[in-house]
Amino acid sequence: MTTTAISNQQNSNSISFFYTPHTPIKITHDDNFTHYGFPGEGTSENPYIIEGYNITSTNEDGICVTYTTKHFVIKDCYIDAYYNGIFVDNVANGTVTIINNTCINNYYGICLESTDNSIVENNSCSNNEYIGIQVSLCSYSAIINNTCNNLGWEGVQMYGSSFLTVTNNTLHNNDKGVTFWETESCVFSYNYIRDCYEHGIFMGSASKDNIIHNNAFVNNNLGGSSQGYDDGVNNTWYDPLMNVGNYWNEWIGTGNYAIDGSASSVDLYPLGESPLVTIAEFQINYISILTIFVIPLVMIAANIRKKNK
């Protein structure tokens, strides 16, 4: 089978991969992994590997995996498909890793539904018509070091989810940067959100107990009164342990930073400079390890609120 070379740019590091052309992949049962001939055994130590494919389609998802129990990794693929670049739904707890893929010109870049303890890391989602990464009805998953740009709706959208870790992502030139809908107890930290037409971050109603800190918001919602929006309940716009908020580039340097929305939220400790320069030299592995310790912040913040009531 012949291969084609496609340049994949992730976080300003241009890496040349050789992709193998492949028809769309649809897996709806554990046996499908072996039918396709993917290497691996489907265990946590030796997962099935879906790797190195160029998938282009005008009428279906690029890679679709549903209702499986085996461990698998989707990595280093280039996907230009009709609807979802990568769609994963109702797979067993902790069995999926999606890493180092390029999803371009789809409706949705990566869509993860009803799938807990998953990892979506170091992917590039650009020029998709609606959303770069959508996470629906998921818990305890990590969205790490992805780039989502030039999207019609949002860079990242979370719906009906809880205890997610969303860190070190770059979201730019989208309609909105990131949106939370009916999502709770998540940590959104060390992300770079810039040049979005509307708010850089949007907390919809019924989104509660989320923590937002150490992010850099630059030139979002230009002409508006705030780069953030909060219609939720008990969302904390700073690190409750360190009393460190977020960087908002239009902040005047004194006082709080007011967040738009019915919650009347404020960032009590806005930062005078971007915190991201302090983590620029961190290795990706360090960020991955860091996420293990981030989720407990939600629990601590909830206890602090209870004690203060």
- Phi/psi of residue 188, nearest 5 degrees: -120, 105
For 251-288, the pLDDT digits (tens) are 999 999 999 999 999 999 999 999 986 443 343 434 44
pLDDT of 14: 36
Q: Which tens digits make up the pLDDT trace of 59-97? A: 899 999 999 999 999 999 999 998 999 999 999 999 999
> What torsion do the CA atoms of 281, 287, 293, 299 make, to the nearest 10 degrees?
100
| Averaged pLDDT score across all residues of the chain | 88
Give the model confidence (pLDDT) of 155-206 as tens digits: 999 999 999 999 999 999 999 999 999 999 999 999 999 999 999 999 998 9
Residues 222-232 as b/e (b if ≥16 CB within 10 A, e otherwise) read eeeebbbbbbb
- For residues 248 and 213, the answer to whether their CB atoms sit within 8 Å is no
Beta strands (DSSP E) in 168-223 are 170-172, 176-181, 187-189, 192-194, 201-203, 211-213, 216-218
Q: What is the pTM of this model?
A: 0.86
